[in-house]
Amino acid sequence: MELDKIQTVNLRDQKFLEELTQQVDDYVRWDKTFLAWKLFLKIKEIFEKDSGGVNNKLINKYIYLLRRLKFLALPLLSDEETINLFEKDLAFAWQLDSFTDEESYDFNQKLKYKLTSVLLWERDEFKIRLINAMKNNQQRISSESIELGSGHQVAPTMANWLKDYIDRIGIDTDTLKQTNYLINSLNTKKLTDDERSILRQVIHLYEKLKISSATPEGIEEDLVYIDKNGQMKILHNGQFINFQDLNKK
């Protein structure tokens, strides 16, 4: 399927849907970010113009493919599109039917690339906006209602789970507190393994975004320097690593 030849198509054509599915699978498998972005824009435009009369089953399949493309193209989204994704559809990144283990989709790496496109002195403010978007996200990430500190039952949305986590753990936290919350908290005891995995990713992302990009732990770029012994080292994901060791990885 050649992008420049996709002009008008029949969304009710099963053959086109099959070809599009194969194309999306290929882009995800080989991490073709730019091509995914171009295909997303093209299919989104066609879908918005010509989805009338398409049955719900087919519409859901196209929406699923568009979501896969959009998450793959995350580094190329505008700041506002990224905020919208965090507020409306973030949980898709970790749901079981979104990406397979064989595809090895890495949301955190995609977000890292997106953050490096934001000016360093504006990045912390952007991170705060992402956190606020997560706190407003109404996607359900588990099946059963949860009980907030006030004692009333609420929907298990990302927003409510983050509220529960913050209320019970507080602002200052560490890995041990996070693990204890995920396993022993009143609400998390009811989670399935898959639901707990999604919540773990949400909490990890929330805590990561809290770290300032002006600190060694929070900066997204890899920085190279020479230590006093003349050894080349790289600041990578908040850790100082010998250049030779990084090459071995």
- Over residues 213-220, the mean pLDDT reads 89
Q: pTM of the full predicted structure?
A: 0.89
For residue 220, the model assigns a pLDDT of 85
Q: What percent of the chain has pLDDT over 70?
A: 86
107-160 pLDDT, tens digit each: 999 999 999 999 999 999 999 999 999 999 999 999 999 999 878 899 999 999
Both structure tokens of 56: 């719900």
115, containing H or E segment: helix 107-116
CA distance 51 to 222: 44
For residue 109, the model assigns a pLDDT of 95
Task: Write the CB contacts of 155 (distance below 8 Å, at least 6 apart in sequence).
Answer: 138, 140, 145, 146
For residue 221, report the phi and psi dihedrals to the nearest 5 degrees. Answer: -75, 150
Question: Does 37 have pLDDT greater than 90?
Answer: yes
For residue 81, the model assigns a pLDDT of 98
Q: For the chain, give the mean pLDDT.
A: 89
Q: How many CA atoms lie within 13 A of 187 on its CB side?
A: 28
- Over residues 82-100, the mean pLDDT reads 97
Categorize the per-residue pLDDT at 224 as very low, low, confident or very high, splitting at 50, 70 and 90: low
Which of 133-142, 177-186, 223-232 is predicted least confidently? Answer: 223-232
